[in-house]
Structure 1
Amino acid sequence: MDGSDALLAQFLAHIDVERGLAKSTVKAYAADIRKYLDWLDAQGIKDLVDVTSHDVESYVAALDEAGESGRSKARRLASVHEFHNFALRQGVVADDVSSRVKAPKANGHLPDVLSVDEVIRLLDAASMGGSDDPVVLRDKALLEFMYATGCRVSEAVDADLNDMDVDERVVVLTGKGSKQRLVPLGEYAIKALQRYTTIGRPQLESKGKGGKERRAIFLNKRGHRISRQSVWEVVKTAGERAHITKPLHPHTLRHSFATHLIQGGADVRTVQELLGHASVTTTQIYTHVSPENLIETYLTAHPRAR
């Protein structure tokens, strides 16, 4: 297609350099968009300005005929959305025709998700009116940390003090297969963590016997690394105080994190990186709540990052 190779190169440079996406994610975008451009070229469409919504729909139908799964089609369409939106922002096209084409519905159970208001109620309930009790400070920091990062409960339990950089507002999480990823920490989480680590955690640490347990961010009443079961209890107790009737468990915060980011405009591949999903198709389930283009990044999308 005329000029498309240059535009694709600009787009890939944008997500690689300016947005800092992982090399594997940039490579996946490149493969998806190249496939799309090759299909358009085969249809005799030589310029992106000539593409219509019907053409995009026909492309998705062609993927269906090729036997691709619903999740695979949704992932490829997410890439097409990103590319067309980039073309619009660059002034290459006057309209994002792909925005009117929705992803095919994937089969499967949708995750339990809290509204932003419910998350705020949950986090406020954990603070117990601003108490300086070390356990209360820990619980508040723990829930803020989990919602800010979208981490798995095991990642919160395993997180050590040296994994976190409060000044840079980031934390290194170790996920499945010992794979590490860097995740931002929003302002609310930073404040809660600072109060906990300066006031509450030293009191909890003094109850322990030292050793490697002292490295953990979150400690129990005996000064040991907090357990997964204890995290469940923290979430459950805060939910009861907040009078939340929805099913509530640690993964609910992870589901809410991803859903709220996408609702706020974050693109699905960025959310994939933040969640530590091996495949974007796993992340795609969270797009069921958002008909908008997935264009923004974490700091502008997360309701408690600013």
Structure 2
Amino acid sequence: MGVPVIEMVVGEFERHLRVERGLSLHTVRAYVGDVGSLIGHLERAGGEGLERLNIVLLRDWLGEQHEAGKARATLARRAACARVFTAFCHRRGWLANDPGLLLGSAKAGRSLPAVLDQEEAKVALNSTGVDGPGELRDQAVLEVLYATGIRVSELCGLDVDDVDRDRRTLRVLGKGSKERVVPCGLPAMRALDAWCIRGRPLWIRDGTGPALFLGVRGGRLDQGTVRRIVHTRLTAAGVTDLSPHGLRHSAATHLLEGGADLRSVQEILGHASLGTTQIYTHVSIERLHTAYRQAHPRA
């Protein structure tokens, strides 16, 4: 089978990531950019097509990235992208062999995520004076992020019918278009009810649709606005300033500190691998060590 032109190969790879694998737009953009970098390296090395793509060139490309000072996380992602790309091309018959099978990479270093302590969470979620539609929405956004640990993209994708008030759960569409149901605490449900009854109707416009959280013009709330809401509220409360993902980290850590088992937290967060969830056990242990060092006279 002949190999199509590089532009067509990259286009087909992008469609594969987006449609067949259901990856997020952010991941698709990152992988397509990585493939563009790899193709550029291939061309600079004198390659005239994909048939010149081999393990030596892949390692040389990653070595060039390392010498340029790229972070370990970036190198790990680019190695993963290369393996996905070469496997894709091999399945399509554009590569006789899959050189990515021989490609290894160091694991990306994982730093402990910043989290609120439980007292800070209480201060940040204090709802005193919440009245206008914007305040009601912002309060509900914070409550839901902390109560459920969902991702900001998942929060923005919620529709009104995704809320089950009887069971106190939310139906969430996560990564890879995988649907899951997550529990939602009573304070968060009350904040949602207040927003839906006294706030959301004031912002509905023609064509608003079923989105649970709205912007001031009646459209679906965007991720940038959610980040601003979280930053503004946490800063005003005088607690640790985190991103929405920091609230997700906080929710997971507090669940484990409260006695939840790791498998349950994995299900709530929507992690495909238990190993991803295990980082939160390290967070809890580190905080335990900190408390011990501060409190024990012979620590």
Output the TM-score relative to the length of structure 2.
0.58
Residue 262 (structure 1) shift: 0.3
Which amino acid is 1:143 matched to? L
Q: Decide whether the 8 Å contact of 1:112 with 1:247 is kept in 2.
A: no
Question: Aligned Cα RMSD in Å?
Answer: 1.5
Which amino acid is 2:116 matched to? L
Per the alignment, residue 220 of structure 2 pairs with: 225
Q: Decide whether the 8 Å contact of 2:130 with 2:139 is kept in 1.
A: no
Per the alignment, residue 134 of structure 1 pairs with: 133
Residues 1:238 and 2:237 are matched in the alignment? no
Q: Distance in 2 between matches of 1:290 and 1:121?
A: 20
Q: Distance in 2 between matches of 1:149 and 1:266?
A: 13
Per the alignment, residue 180 of structure 1 pairs with: 179
Residue 107 (structure 1) shift: 5.8
Per the alignment, residue 41 of structure 2 pairs with: none
Which amino acid is 1:209 matched to? D
Q: Distance in 2 between matches of 1:240 and 1:273?
A: 31
Identity of aligned residues (%): 50
Residue 130 (structure 1) shift: 2.8
Q: Distance in 1 between matches of 2:198 and 2:241?
A: 32
Output the TM-score relative to the length of structure 1.
0.56
Per the alignment, residue 89 of structure 2 pairs with: none
Q: Distance in 1 between matches of 2:109 and 2:231?
A: 29
Per the alignment, residue 261 of structure 2 pairs with: 267
Residue of structure 1 aligned with 2:206, choices 209, 214, 239: 209
Q: Report the count of equivalent residues.
A: 178
Per the alignment, residue 249 of structure 2 pairs with: 255
Provide structure 2 residue ranges, at least 5 long, that are not aligned to the other structure.
Answer: 1-107, 286-299
Describe the SS at the equivalent of 1:215.
coil
Q: Please say which structure displays the higher CA radius of gyration.
A: 2
Provide structure 1 residue ranges, at least 5 long, that are not aligned to the other structure.
Answer: 1-105, 292-306
Residue 240 (structure 1) shift: 1.4
Q: Distance in 1 between matches of 2:156 and 2:173?
A: 10
Residue 227 (structure 1) shift: 0.5
Q: 1:172-221 CA distances to partner (integer Å, 9 max, x unpaired)?
A: 1110000011101101001111111010110111xx222xx321110011
Q: Decide whether the 8 Å contact of 1:171 with 1:185 is kept in 2.
A: yes
Q: Decide whether the 8 Å contact of 2:160 with 2:211 is kept in 1.
A: yes
Which amino acid is 2:123 matched to? R
Which amino acid is 1:192 matched to? A
Q: Distance in 2 between matches of 1:255 and 1:204?
A: 31
Residue 247 (structure 1) shift: 4.1
Residue 153 (structure 1) shift: 0.3
Q: 1:34-55 CA distances to partner (integer Å, 9 max, x unpaired)?
A: xxxxxxxxxxxxxxxxxxxxxx
Describe the SS at the equivalent of 2:278.
helix
Which amino acid is 2:262 matched to? V
TM superposition outliers: structure 1 runs of 4+ over 4 Å: none
Q: Decide whether the 8 Å contact of 1:169 with 1:185 is kept in 2.
A: yes
Q: How does 1:1-306 map to 2 (within 5 A)?
A: 108-124=110-126, 127=127, 129-205=128-204, 208-210=205-207, 213-244=208-239, 246-290=240-284
Describe the SS at the equivalent of 1:214.
coil
Q: Decide whether the 8 Å contact of 2:159 with 2:211 is kept in 1.
A: yes
Q: Distance in 2 between matches of 1:202 and 1:280?
A: 40
Q: Decide whether the 8 Å contact of 2:143 with 2:187 is kept in 1.
A: yes
